Amino acid sequence: MAEQPLVTLGVVAYNEEEYLAELLEDIRIQSYPKNRIELLLIDSMSDDQTYAIMEDFAACHAARFSDIRLLKNPGKRQAAGWNIAIREFSGDLLVRVDAHARLGSDFVEQTVACLQSGEKVCGGRRPNLILDETPWKRTLLMAEQSLFGSSFARYRSSDKRCYVKSAFHTAYLREVLQKVGGFNESLGRTEDNEFHYRVYKAGYRICYEPKIESYQYIRPRLHRILRQKAGNGYWVARTLFFCPRCISLFHLVPFAFVTAILATALLATLVDWWLPLWLLWSAYALFAIGNAVLSVRSYRKFSPLQLTLPLLFLLLHLSYGLGSVLGFLSAPFGRKRGGHSA
C-alpha cells in the first residue's frame, strides 16, 4: 500500500497562551498517523508564555511526529509567519492552522481525503467558540455567528461541498504554493483574500468540504471584538486600492451603511429633510430586531442580555464601517504594495 502523504501543519501564534495548549492537544490526538505529520510552530515574538508552551509540547511529543520545529517570526504579521511556513515545510501539503482555534479529531484525515479525491486546495466549516462561557459571552457569540452580525461566507456553516473564494484552515498541495508563491507581507488582515485571489488566477479552485471541521474562538470581550472589526474594515479598504477583485461587495456593506448615515444626517441638518434619515434607521432597526429574534430562537435559551443584540449588531457594523473610512482616507499615504516571497 502506498505511503500516506506527509502533512505539514503550520501554526503561527502571537500571545496565544490562553488557547495554544488546547490546540496542540487537538493536534496530538489526530486520527491521522502522527509519523506522517510535520508540525511547524511559529512564534511571532510573543511576550507571554506562547513560546514556552511550544517548547514543552515539542519536548514531550517530538518522537510521535515526523518532525516538530520551532521557528521565529520577527516580522510579527501573519503573512510573514505563513511565508516562513511555506519556505520551511517538508510535507506533500501544507495546512495553515490558526492558533486561536480548535480542531476536530479527524481534521487532518478529512483534509487528506479531500485532496486525494482530486482537489488541490481545500478547507472546511468554521463554527465559532467562546472560552469560559457566561451569559454575556454567549450573547457576543450569538452576535458574531449571526449572518447579520458577521458575514454570509459559506465556509462558516454550509453542509454542502462546493467551491468558494476563501476557506478557514486552508490546505494546499506543494505544487500550488510553488506556482502561486507567498503571502503579501504588506497586508495586515486581508492577506488571505489577496493570496486566494492569486490561487484562483493561477488556475486552482478552493474546495469547501463540510467534513473538515475546525472551530475559531471569538474575542472574549466586546472592545476586542470591535477593535478586530475596525481592523478588518481598515484593511479591506486599503486592499481595494491595489487588488479590488480580492474584495467582495459584502465587505463594503458596513462602509456603505456608515456613509449613508453621514449623508442622510447632513441632508437633514442642511435642508431640514429628515425623511431619508428616518427611513434608514427604521429599516436598519427592523433588520436588527428581526435577526436578533432569529438568533434567540435558534439558541432556545433566553437571557435578558440577549435584548442587547440589536445594539451589538449596530456596534459591529459601525466599527467595521468606520475602520473602512479610515482605510480609504489613509490608503494614499500608506505603504505601496509589497512583494510576495516564499
Cα gap 285→216, rounded to integer Å: 29
Calculate the average pLDDT of the chain.
90
7-220 folds as Spore Coat Polysaccharide Biosynthesis Protein SpsA; Chain A (3.90.550)
Name the residue among 199, 108, 211, 109 with its Cα closest to residue 159: 211
List, as one string, the DSSP characters of 284-313: HHHHHHHHHHHHHHHH----GGGGGHHHHH
pLDDT (tens digit per residue) in 182-199: 999 998 889 999 999 999
Give the 3-state secondary structure of residue 275.
helix
Are the C-beta atoms of residues 54 and 9 closer than 8 Å to each other? no
Instruction: List every span in the chain annotated with CATH 3.90.550.10.
Output: 7-220
Cα gap 307→135, rounded to integer Å: 12
Q: Give, in order, the Cα–Cα distances in Å from 213 to each of 163, 167, 181, 227, 313.
A: 16, 11, 26, 27, 27
pLDDT (tens digit per residue) in 264-309: 888 888 877 888 888 888 999 999 999 999 889 887 788 899 999 9
More confident position, 153 or 256: 256
Cα gap 339→159, rounded to integer Å: 37
* Whether pTM exceeds 0.85: yes
- Residues of 24-48 as b/e, b for ≥16 C-beta within 10 angstroms? bebbeebebebebbbbbbbbbebee
> What pairing do the DSSP bridges indicate for beta strands 37-43 and 67-72?
parallel
Q: What is residue 148's predicted lDDT score, i.e. its pLDDT?
A: 78
Cα gap 92→8, rounded to integer Å: 8
